[in-house]
């Protein structure tokens, strides 16, 4: 038996997927929960020690023969998190996560220092947003100056796990483009952005070397082998951010494919052979972790919104499908703006959740819960419309994430976007994508001249029982409801912009 391992460091859990690529079967998987530390300022943080404890727990649940069969490892991780290490590789501060919205002042500072949002997009390809890594670094400088003075290494979550496994400090361009510090045109760190962050310090000295995606970065050390019960010397690929690995895990490695991730956050992205930069900045101009680019839109509230609303409504997971299905499309006029964690799309980091359009007749559990699903998809439809406007094409959506397991989520996504929706047999898109990336690099290192598309074509298949087609009779209802959603955002945005 020969296996490749995909590790996905998510927001709420770490997951392992061992894939026997010779028989095309997942032979073991394991997960462990993680806690997010939050407060009313928008702070969302985790500790690296919790990550490593969870990783050790995951490995302990995998049989020894399977761990011994490893020939390659790939790591996926939540994007944008700031892992700050000193010269002795010790954490200086808890990891500020992608969903941490306490850095808007730092976003404004960097943007002003650079010469404005439009110039940032022109030069680097992206504006600086509150979820990105760059403002978190400036936050540390302003709020923990002694820690900032000792800052020696800037890493992202998946980079840190790569370092723990191999001892190597590197970064690849997919995850790096989510820092806000990468020039996505040139695939190199932007000296101008770094200067706008700190004109008195050369932050490039803290940044890791950028590596190409089709080569191994190193191999598991004796320490990693001892801690996790895996062989020493297993090669490790560069891995990438969860969206980049999700792209591989859904076959989104050639133009024409759309992936929609329905997790705590929501994402929609597509592959491109050339950089696609949105002059309005609504679509992130990210690199892929396969050598191309991955135009992407991200929302901070997706299945998070239904989970938060289910509890006070007293709706269990077993009841969820029936309760949502009992409401009519459009929810009788109920509109949710589910910005519980602030929001990136639209860019309202200080926003809070709102429900509008309630009357004595439509205020019921089904409408309130279905409105969370519909509005989460409306935010991604906005991204779809924006992508189409800048030349991205796709005639089918591949769903991934927890929401893809729900028939009602799948159908609503299909109806609102008016596209067919498919789900793959291989679950855990990001973890499986990381495994496939490592398989790609292993194959190339073994002398096989394979593209990443060759790998995904061979190892990904659709689950036809999960296929959804849009209901044409709902188009008018959803078009009208989507317009009400956008109108609601237009009117409520000034209130949150002033907070």
Q: Is 242 designated active site?
A: yes
Say if residue 465 is exposed, middle or buried (CB neighbours under 10 Å; 0-12, 13-18, 19+).
exposed
| C-alpha to C-alpha distance for 83 and 116, rounded to whole angstroms | 27
Phi, psi dihedral angles at 201 (to 5 degrees):
-145, 140
Q: Which of 50, 242, 278, 332 is catalytic?
A: 242
Q: 3-state DSSP call for residue 71?
A: strand
DSSP 332: G
Helix (H) or strand (E) holding 302, with range, is none
In 10 A of CB 457, how many CB atoms? 14
Long-range pairs of 216-221 with CB within 8 A, sequence gap ≥ 24? 216/72, 216/441, 216/445, 217/162, 217/166, 217/168, 217/170, 218/162, 218/165, 218/166, 218/167, 218/168, 219/166, 220/73, 220/165, 220/166, 221/165, 221/166, 221/167
Looking up tokens 């938060």, which residue turns up? 308
| C-alpha to C-alpha distance for 419 and 406, rounded to whole angstroms | 17
Catalytic residue numbers, as ranges: 242
């Amino acid at each position: 038996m020969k296996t490749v391992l995909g590790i996905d460091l998510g927001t709420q859990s770490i997951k392992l997927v061992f894939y026997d690529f010779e028989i095309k079967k997942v032979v073991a998987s394991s997960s462990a929960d993680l806690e997010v530390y939050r407060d009313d300022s928008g702070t969302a943080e985790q500790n690296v020690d919790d990550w490593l404890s969870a990783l050790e727990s995951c490995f302990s649940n995998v049989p020894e023969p399977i761990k011994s069969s490893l020939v390659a490892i790939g790591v996926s991780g939540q994007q944008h998190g700031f892992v700050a290490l000193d010269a002795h590789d010790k954490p200086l501060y808890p990891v500020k996560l992608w969903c941490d919205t306490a850095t808007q002042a730092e976003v404004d500072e960097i943007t002003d220092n650079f010469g404005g949002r439009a110039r940032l997009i022109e030069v680097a390809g992206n504006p600086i947003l509150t979820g990105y890594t760059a403002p978190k670094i400036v936050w540390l400088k302003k709020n923990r100056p002694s820690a900032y003075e000792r800052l020696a290494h800037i890493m992202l979550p998946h980079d840190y796990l790569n370092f723990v496994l191999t001892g190597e400090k590197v970064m690849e361009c997919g995850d790096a483009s989510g820092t806000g510090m990468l020039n996505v045109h040139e695939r190199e760190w932007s000296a101008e952005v770094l200067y706008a962050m700190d004109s008195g310090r050369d932050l490039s000295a803290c940044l890791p070397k950028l590596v190409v995606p089709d080569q191994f970065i190193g191999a598991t050390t004796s320490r990693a082998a001892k801690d996790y019960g895996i062989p020493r010397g297993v090669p490790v690929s560069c891995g990438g951010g969860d969206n980049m690995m999700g792209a591989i895990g859904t076959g989104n490695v050639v133009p024409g494919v759309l992936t929609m991730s329905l997790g705590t956050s929501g994402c929609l992205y597509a592959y491109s052979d050339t950089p696609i930069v949105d002059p309005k900045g609504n679509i992130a101009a990210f690199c892929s972790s396969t050598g191309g680019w991955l135009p992407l839109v991200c929302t901070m509230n997706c299945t998070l919104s239904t989970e938060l609303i289910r509890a006070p409504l007293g709706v269990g997971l077993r009841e969820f499908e029936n309760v949502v299905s009992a409401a009519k499309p459009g929810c009788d006029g109920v509109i949710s703006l589910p910005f519980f964690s602030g929001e990136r799309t639209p860019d309202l980091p200080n926003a809070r959740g709102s429900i509008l359009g309630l009357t004595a007749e439509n205020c019921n559990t089904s409408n309130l819960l279905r409105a969370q699903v519909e509005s989460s998809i409306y935010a991604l439809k906005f991204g779809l419309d924006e992508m189409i406007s800048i030349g991205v094409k796709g005639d089918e959506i591949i769903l991934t994430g927890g929401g893809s397991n729900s028939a009602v989520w799948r159908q609503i996504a299909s109806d609102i976007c008016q596209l067919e929706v498919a789900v793959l047999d291989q679950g855990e898109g990001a973890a499986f994508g990381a495994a496939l990336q490592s398989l790609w690099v292993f194959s190339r290192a073994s002398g096989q001249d394979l593209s990443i598309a060759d790998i995904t074509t061979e190892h990904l298949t659709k689950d036809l029982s999960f296929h959804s087609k849009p209901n044409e009779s709902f188009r008018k209802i959803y078009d009208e409801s989507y317009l009400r959603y956008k109108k609601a955002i237009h009117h409520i945005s000034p209130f949150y912009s002033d907070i």
